[in-house]
Homo-oligomer: A and B are copies of this chain.
Amino acid sequence: MALKYPGGKEYRGNRPNTARQRAADYANRGMTLEDDLNATNEYYRERGIAVIHKKPTPVQIVRVDYPKRSAAVIKEAYFRQASTTDYNGVYRGKYIDFEAKETKNKTAFPLKNFHAHQIRHMEQVIAHGGICFAILRFSVLNETYLLDASHLIACWNEQEAGGRKSIPKREIERCGHYIPLGYQPRIDYINVVENVYFTV
């Protein structure tokens, strides 16, 4: 039901009136890939579609104060390198595991966004029958792709052998799967997972 002011004028709140205004608002929201994925995963959990969480940032805690009558305060800690990917969970009984990264580069995705531990972890997940991929965003172009981990691992191994330090965008377009941006959910990657891994 639309709310109306006395006199019958519809209440429009602060909604933007023009497409340009809406686009500007969207750009100004400054949503990172992480924000988008957190919102998407929450949507999936609420709707009972999948249970996928981002893992907490790994931190090495060195010193903690325990003040009287209030919460413990961590006074000294350091960021540790993750030994796995950032996201995992379950969809239709299968183990889902992925890393999400964005680049400002318009033509290729630099492999320096990943580190060796994560690539080894992806190899292990594949070996154990899990579903493993990367979600890659070209942030300037606002294009997001799902790339199966096997492709990422192959590119990584080529790099280790002296090859290219990035994956050309045209290769990601060819081997990966475009994820259209939406409103709810913002990045419907499970729809892509369903098509790629479950539909034979």
Q: What is A's interface to B at a CB cutoff of 8 Å?
A: 45, 48, 50-51, 53, 55-59, 61, 71-80, 82-84, 88-97, 121, 124-125, 127-130
Closest to A127 in B: B48
User: Is B72 touching A74 in the complex (CB atoms < 8 A)?
Assistant: no
User: Is B76 touching A72 in the complex (CB atoms < 8 A)?
Assistant: no
User: Is A55 touching B57 in the complex (CB atoms < 8 A)?
Assistant: no
Minimum CB–CB distance for A28 against chain B, Å: 25
Q: Which of A50, A56, A95, A129 has the most chain B CB atoms closer than 10 A to its own CB?
A: A95
Copies of this chain, whole number: 2
Minimum CB–CB distance for A147 against chain B, Å: 19
A79 CA to B95 CA, complexed, in Å: 28
Partner of A51, one of B61, B91, B92, B125: B125
User: Is A128 touching B79 in the complex (CB atoms < 8 A)?
Assistant: no
Residues of B within 8 A of A97 (CB): 90
Partner of A92, one of B56, B80, B124, B128: B128
Residues of B within 8 A of A92 (CB): 128-129
Partner of A129, one of B59, B79, B93: B93
User: Is A51 touching B124 in the complex (CB atoms < 8 A)?
Assistant: yes
User: Is A125 touching B90 in the complex (CB atoms < 8 A)?
Assistant: yes
User: Is B90 touching A129 in the complex (CB atoms < 8 A)?
Assistant: yes
A92 CA to B93 CA, complexed, in Å: 11
